[in-house]
Amino acid sequence: MPAAMEISRLDTDELVYRTAFQLRFQSPLQQFRCLLRVRRCSFPVAGAYQASLLVEGECVALRRFLVVHQESSP
């Protein structure tokens, strides 16, 4: 099945990251846990974001999270 993971800003709904991949299930009732590594994703501003897992274009899971700006100390 075609799947994708998308990350978007919640304040503007701007898509900041997307990756597509294929999923293979052994049966129509199979459940699985998913851990996806995100590489080369840049967050334009601090704030609220949402990661969505889509399968065949339908959202099957999502997680909201906060990106904060951390001051570097000398």
Q: pLDDT, tens digit, for every residue of 14-40?
A: 999 999 999 888 888 888 788 888 989
Note the pTM of the prediction, 2 decimals.
0.84
What is the spatial distance between Cα 16 and Cα 20, in angstroms, rounded to a whole number? Answer: 14
Q: For the chain, what is the mean pLDDT?
A: 91
For residue 69, tell me if it sits in a domain. yes
Please compute the mean of the pLDDT values over residues 36-61 and round it to a whole number: 94
Q: For residue 63, what pLDDT is reported?
A: 95
Question: How is residue 15 written in tokens?
Answer: 């898509």
For residue 29, tell me if it sits in a domain. no
Work out the pLDDT band at 74, boundaries 50, 70, 90: low
- Number of domains, the chain: 1
Question: How is residue 67 written in tokens?
Answer: 């990106």
Distance of CA 19 to the CA centre of its chain: 9
Pairing relationship of beta strands 47-55 and 58-67 according to DSSP bridges:
antiparallel
For residue 13, tell me if it sits in a domain. yes
For residue 38, tell me if it sits in a domain. no
**Which sign does the torsion angle of CA 54, 59, 64, 69 carry?**
positive
For residue 74, tell me if it sits in a domain. yes
Helix/strand number for the chain, H first, E second = 0, 4
